[in-house]
Amino acid sequence: MESLLNSIVWETVGVFYEASVYLLAGFFVAGLLHVYLPADLIARHLGRNDARSVGLAALFGAPIPLCSCGVLPAAASLQKQGAGRAPLVSFLISTPETGVDSVALTYGLMGPVMAVVRPVVAVVTALVAGIASIGVREDETAPGSSAAALSDDACADPACDDASAPAAGRDSCDETHAPGAAASSPAHRFFHSLEYGFTSVLDDIALSLLVGMLLTGVLAGLLPDNFFDEVLGWGSGIMPMLAMIVLGLPLYLCASASTPVAAALMVKGLSPGAALVFLLVGPATNLATMTVVGQLLGRRLLGVYLGAIILVSLMAGLLVDATLADSIQVAGFGDLGQDVDAVFVLKALSAVGLVLLLLRSFVRKGYRTVWRDAAEQLLQTGRALKAFRPGNLLRGPVLAAAVAIAAVASVPAFTLIVDPGQRGIIQRFGRVVAADLEPGLYFHLPAPFGRGTAVDVGLIRQVTVGFRGGVNGARRVVDEQAFYLTADGNVIDIRAVVQYRVRDPAVYALGVEETPAVVLGLARRELVSLLSRKPIDRIYTVDRRSTERELRDRLARRLASLGIGSEILDVRLLDVHAPGRVHDAFRDVASALEDRQRDIHVATGAATQSTTAATGEAERITQRAEGRAVREMRRAEGRSAAFRDTAAVHRTSPGVTEARLYLETLERSLELPRKYIYMPEADGGGDVDLWIGAPSSDFLNLGAPEPRSGQR
């Protein structure tokens, strides 16, 4: 119980956090429109009962921030000024269904696509209703004046009837009230726009807005995820749209208050088309409003009013689900702190400012007045419900609309459409009579006697472990799923995603109640078993991919053994890190280990480089020494061979050999130096023959000459 209350409170705080900045922007623009839009502009163009006036009424009413009750006095004033009945019907629809504040809030909670679709469809609804009203004759019992029709209306603000009420409060009752008399200068006009936007407009919707915010928090905290899809089986189709019509017709919520409620329902599995139906029907209708509209315009135009709202909203919802469903996404309201710092501060300050403005509004009006207004609205709703006669509406276009809706709603009761990529199952009295049907159209007995189910077997489904949200977007941590104990006693934080698909459609649809919950439980079980056998460092680094593969194989075998009609395709560990409290310390340790490993690699590289260089230098020196040794050896061998040849010749002719050796030696000795010969006996003239030895003995005996005295 305590956890449920905490969830509701947290979701309510998240709604204020996400919605406040857009609501404040809408109030600001609403004040500017009220002050700077000419007071008689609307009435001046709505006097004719034709298509042009209907179109202008739809366009003029779209940006004005008035609820379904607040618009009634403005419509009565326009009727007094001569506005046609068809433009009034158009104005009564486009004004409460949308406004600058609700469009801004829709953009913030549901994205730009829904922020464009919502006002466009509101204007189209107003155009259809207005044009359909042109040819409708006035009821004979229709009231003669709008004042009489609104004399007992409790929807209108008490300030409308109180002559002593502030002018700003009376401005909210009549959109054609001219502020120019009270504010002539530009500064005064600007401050008057702020007063109107943040006082009059807020006073008009404060209670409804607060109820809508609280209801959103209750729905977001109370309903389980995929409530409409998996619990009710209303993921798409016309049934959730009809349910939203039944819910929205009697409910009193303004356009701004209904927006967070619709967003919360989408978070819980409601289709965007059904949410659009609620956004269109809820703000434009409630029992008190329908009663007063019937008094103001007559039962026939009330039938056109309701018929156009219901039919156009249904067609728009079906079209949105068929074409734009994937483009409209709503994030959860509890993801506070996921924004960047500047955006977080802006949203937080806006939420505080909106709460203070709401408190200021309640204090200004008085708490007793607030409670009295709420009680009066409940009493008036009860009186309207008591006086409401559905039979009076089931005529003409409303009857045709009811018949058409009943016919359309009955078609899915006995038909089964199996789209491409799907397989069909047909049951009769609970027994499966046809399974694994190919795409096509099939018929079956209506409930409770029979049932047809289409299962998408081509869709890759996924279960997130440790977080909620998209794989590529913002992730909200789920603590009880994220933390695991490793083999070395450390705690590791895991974010994983498991992808699977349907293998047996009949078993998947009828044999298992919550396949995602089963897959999630098995994945957590296998993670506990697998991570408890591995140290944290290896999971961080080398074993991450092998852990994914092992987890996938173990999970696939386990799921196959259970026979729940699904098969595992892949498992991915998106985030693997230490818990947040020690993440910085683990990051420092990891950085130190990386630095250590880098230094080891650098040192190993330097050592390898030095070793390689030294080895190369040693090899070079060795090769050079070996080459020199070979060269010297060959030279020595050549000299040795020459000496042996000379010795052999000397043995046979020693004298000649010795003379030749002697002469060669002298030749080598005297070849290079410059020689000076001193011969005093030459007597200073003529050529001189220089003999090394005596001619007679040198060339006849060929022996070694004997030196003579005086020779040089």
pLDDT digit string, tens, across residues 297-321: 777 777 788 888 888 888 888 888 8
Give the β-pairing of 491-502 and 461-465.
Answer: antiparallel
Asked if residue 219 is part of any domain, the answer here is yes
Burial track 180-202 (b if 16+ CB lie within 10 A, e otherwise): eeebeeeeebeebbebbbbbbbb
Do 305 and 234 fall within a single domain? yes
Residue 447 pLDDT greater than 60, yes or no:
yes
> Who wins on pLDDT, 40 or 93?
93
Residue 333 binned pLDDT confidence (cut-offs 50, 70, 90)? low
Max mean pLDDT among 13-22, 138-147, 361-370, 431-440 falls in: 431-440
> Who wins on pLDDT, 571 or 241?
571
What value, to the nearest 5°, has the Cα angle with vertex 195 and ends 193 and 200? 105
Identify the pLDDT of residue 231. Answer: 60
> What is the token pair recorded at 343?
């955006």
Q: How many CB atoms lie within 10 A of CB 123?
A: 20
Which of 556, 577, 598 is at the close of a domain? 577
Q: What is the mean pLDDT of residues 231-235?
A: 61
Give the β-pairing of 440-443 and 475-477.
Answer: unpaired
CA atoms within 13 A on the CB side of 157: 28
Among 308-317, 369-378, 524-533, 644-653, the minimum mean pLDDT is found in 369-378
DSSP state of 40: T
Residue 458 pLDDT greater than 80, yes or no:
yes
Asked if residue 516 is part of any domain, the answer here is yes
Amino acid at 643: F
Work out the end-to-end distance of the chain between its first and last CA atoms, rounded to an integer number of angstroms: 137
> Cα(501)–Cα(524) distance, rounded to whole angstroms?
19
* pTM for the predicted model, two decimal places: 0.56
Residue 697 pLDDT greater than 50, yes or no:
no
The pLDDT tens digits for 269-290 are: 788 888 888 888 878 776 666 7
> Cα(249)–Cα(262) distance, rounded to whole angstroms?
15
> What is the token pair recorded at 609?
């480089």
Q: What is the mean pLDDT of residues 203-215?
A: 74
Q: Are 155 and 289 in contact (CB under 8 A)?
A: yes
Extract the runs of DSSP E, i.e. beta strands, from 409-528: 415-418, 422-428, 431-437, 440-443, 450-456, 461-465, 467-469, 475-477, 483-485, 491-502
Asked if residue 705 is part of any domain, the answer here is no
Q: What is the SS3 assignment for 138?
A: coil
> Cα(185)–Cα(485) distance, rounded to whole angstroms?
70
> Cα(292)–Cα(155) distance, rounded to whole angstroms?
9
Residue 651 pLDDT greater than 70, yes or no:
yes
> Who wins on pLDDT, 36 or 168?
36
Among 56-60, 215-219, 457-461, the minimum mean pLDDT is found in 215-219
Whole-angstrom CA distances from 321 to 50, 109, 115, 406, 492 are: 33, 18, 15, 20, 41
CATH number at residue 557: 3.30.479.30
> Cα(467)–Cα(309) distance, rounded to whole angstroms?
40
Q: What is the SS3 assignment for 389?
A: coil
Q: How many CB atoms lie within 10 A of CB 138?
A: 11
Identify the pLDDT of residue 696. Answer: 44
Which of 398, 422, 456 is at the close of a domain? 456
Q: How far is CA 15 from the centre of its chain?
A: 18
Asked if residue 406 is part of any domain, the answer here is no
Asked if residue 645 is part of any domain, the answer here is no
> Who wins on pLDDT, 163 or 498?
498
Query: Who contacts 267 (Cβ-Cβ below 8 Å, separation ≥6)?
Result: 220, 225, 330, 331, 332, 333
Do 445 and 469 fall within a single domain? no
Among 26-40, 119-133, 324-338, the minimum mean pLDDT is found in 324-338
Whole-angstrom CA distances from 633 to 450, 629, 671 are: 109, 6, 29
Residue 93 binned pLDDT confidence (cut-offs 50, 70, 90)? confident
> What is the token pair recorded at 528?
């506990």
Q: For 67, phi and psi rounded to 5 degrees?
A: -85, 180
> Who wins on pLDDT, 216 or 571?
571
Query: Who contacts 50 (Cβ-Cβ below 8 Å, separation ≥6)?
Result: 84, 86, 134
Q: What is the mean pLDDT of residues 581-608?
A: 84
Identify the pLDDT of residue 693. Answer: 54
Q: How many CB atoms lie within 10 A of CB 695?
A: 11
The pLDDT tens digits for 4-42 are: 677 777 777 777 777 777 778 777 877 777 777 665 666
Do 339 and 448 fall within a single domain? no
Q: Are 250 and 327 in contact (CB under 8 A)?
A: no
Identify the pLDDT of residue 168. Answer: 36
Identify the pLDDT of residue 426. Answer: 92
Do 73 and 123 fall within a single domain? yes
The pLDDT tens digits for 460-483 are: 999 999 888 776 666 778 888 888
Whole-angstrom CA distances from 150 to 15, 83, 277, 311, 697 are: 35, 17, 28, 28, 169
Residue 97 binned pLDDT confidence (cut-offs 50, 70, 90)? confident
Do 511 and 448 fall within a single domain? no
Which of 577, 597, 625 is at the close of a domain? 577
Question: Ramachandran region of residue 55, left (φ > 0), alpha (ψ -120 to 50) or beta?
Answer: alpha
> Cα(397)–Cα(399) distance, rounded to whole angstroms?
5
Do 278 and 189 fall within a single domain? yes
> Cα(67)–Cα(301) distance, rounded to whole angstroms?
20
Do 253 and 323 fall within a single domain? yes
Identify the pLDDT of residue 527. Answer: 92
Identify the pLDDT of residue 624. Answer: 92
Max mean pLDDT among 144-158, 315-329, 385-399, 643-657 falls in: 643-657
Asked if residue 544 is part of any domain, the answer here is yes
Query: Who contacts 282 (Cβ-Cβ below 8 Å, separation ≥6)?
Result: 244, 247, 248, 251, 253, 258, 261
Residue 233 binned pLDDT confidence (cut-offs 50, 70, 90)? low
Q: Are 306 and 226 in contact (CB under 8 A)?
A: no
Do 234 and 298 fall within a single domain? yes
* Rg of the chain, C-alpha, whole Å: 50
> Cα(23)–Cα(353) distance, rounded to whole angstroms?
11
Asked if residue 533 is part of any domain, the answer here is yes
Q: Are 11 and 217 in contact (CB under 8 A)?
A: yes
Do 450 and 484 fall within a single domain? no
Do 125 and 46 fall within a single domain? yes
**Number of structural domains, the chain?**
4
Residue 203 binned pLDDT confidence (cut-offs 50, 70, 90)? confident
Residue 501 pLDDT greater than 90, yes or no:
yes
Asked if residue 172 is part of any domain, the answer here is yes
Amino acid at 400: A
Cis peptide, bond prior to residue 166, ω within 30 of zero: no
Identify the pLDDT of residue 614. Answer: 93
Give the β-pairing of 461-465 and 467-469.
Answer: unpaired
Identify the pLDDT of residue 678. Answer: 66
Residue 525 binned pLDDT confidence (cut-offs 50, 70, 90)? very high
> What is the token pair recorded at 675?
């020689």
Q: What is the mean pLDDT of residues 135-152?
A: 51
On average, the pLDDT of the chain sits at: 76
Return the residue matching tokens 């409601």: 270
Q: Are 27 and 62 in contact (CB under 8 A)?
A: no
Q: Smallest Cα–Cα separation from 211: which of 5, 495, 15?
A: 15
> Domain limits at 431?
412-456
Do 443 and 479 fall within a single domain? no
What value, to the nearest 5°, has the Cα angle with vertex 500 and ends 495 and 503? 165
Extract the runs of DSSP E, i.e. beta strands, from 466-598: 467-469, 475-477, 483-485, 491-502, 566-577
Q: What is the mean pLDDT of residues 503-511?
A: 90
Identify the pLDDT of residue 158. Answer: 42
Identify the pLDDT of residue 247. Answer: 80
Identify the pLDDT of residue 107. Answer: 84
Q: Are 461 and 516 in contact (CB under 8 A)?
A: yes
Identify the pLDDT of residue 324. Answer: 83
Do 144 and 273 fall within a single domain? yes
